[in-house]
Amino acid sequence: MLRITGADLVRAAKVLDVMWLSGPPQIDRAIERSVDSAIRIGAAVARTSHGWKNRTGALENSIKSAMLEVGHQRAVGEISAGLDSKARKYASVMEKGSSPHPIFPKNFNLRTQRAGTHGFLTFKVDGRWVIVPYVNHPGTRPYKFMRHGADTAEKYLVRLLDEALERATIAAIAR
């Protein structure tokens, strides 16, 4: 049987007040480690569970986690994709999807609706080369890989912070 007296509760409340107001370094470190671990896990989930057929690996390799700010009882981290690579152009499209749209060659003149020199799209369909002035793209479904990574990071962060703060509280009360 556990017995807690009023004096025990008052002592615990004082310890917690001092702990949160003074912000011992172990609390700050626990918050920083928890945020850093959570965003690393979130980035790993975004990299590995995206669901698209990976062709070049550029977008997958561009998914990174970084600590942005660490301070007194504060830590800010981020998970990003396509910030420093050629994947920048399509990271948002893969996350949010796209509606149906035409795709024109680079030197297609929209005003005259004509292609300039070599202004055709060339690609293979069923082993045959096709040359066309434009194509109607059906759109892309959203993969929400970053959302999935962020949601996972949030779940881990809550658990990691609970564990870290519980350890720090027990250590502070034991003093």
Taking Cα atoms as reference points, which of 80, 36, 38, 37 lies closest to residue 59?
80
- Are 152 and 73 members of one domain? yes
Question: Do the strands 64-71 and 108-109 form a parallel or antiparallel pair, or are they unpaired?
Answer: unpaired
- Which domain range does residue 35 map to? 7-97+142-174
Residues 61 and 118 in one domain: no
On whether residue 47 sits in a domain, the answer given is yes
pLDDT the model gives residue 4: 46
**Total domain count, the chain:** 2
Please indicate, yes or no, whether residues 108 and 155 belong to a single structural domain of this protein: no
Residue type, 143: Y
- If asked whether residues 113 and 147 sit together in one domain, one would say no
- Kindly report, residue by residue over 115-132, the tens digit of the pLDDT: 555 678 888 999 999 988
Same domain, 154 and 70: yes
Does residue 75 register a pLDDT over 70? yes
- Pair 15, 83 in one domain: yes
Same domain flag for 105 and 25? no
Query: Model's pTM, two decimal places?
Result: 0.73
pLDDT of residue 2: 46
Using DSSP bridges, classify how beta strands 64-71 and 74-80 pair: parallel, antiparallel or unpaired: antiparallel
Residues 167 and 84 in one domain: yes
Q: How confident is the model at residue 65 (pLDDT cuts 50, 70, 90)?
A: very high
Q: Confidence class of residue 136 from pLDDT cuts 50, 70 and 90?
A: very high
67 and 16: one domain?
A: yes
Residues 34 and 78 in one domain: yes
1 assigned to some structural domain: no
The separation between the first and the last C-alpha atoms of the chain, rounded to the nearest angstrom, is 23
SS3 readout for the chain? CCCCCHHHHHHHHHHHHHHHHHCCHHHHHHHHHHHHHHHHHHHHHHHHCCCCCCCCCHHHHHCEEEEEEEECCEEEEEEECCCCCCCHHHHHHHHHCECCEEECCCCEECCCCEECCCCCEEEEECCEEEEECCEEECCECCCCHHHHHHHHHHHHHHHHHHHHHHHHHHHHHHC
Summarize pLDDT for 1-27 with one digit per residue, the tens: 345 445 555 565 555 555 555 556 777
Residues 153-165, mean pLDDT to the nearest whole number: 88
% of the chain with per-residue pLDDT over 90: 43
Higher-confidence residue: 70 or 10? 70
Longest dimension (CA), the chain: 88
Six-digit token pair at 47? 């990299």
Question: What mean pLDDT value characterizes the chain?
Answer: 82
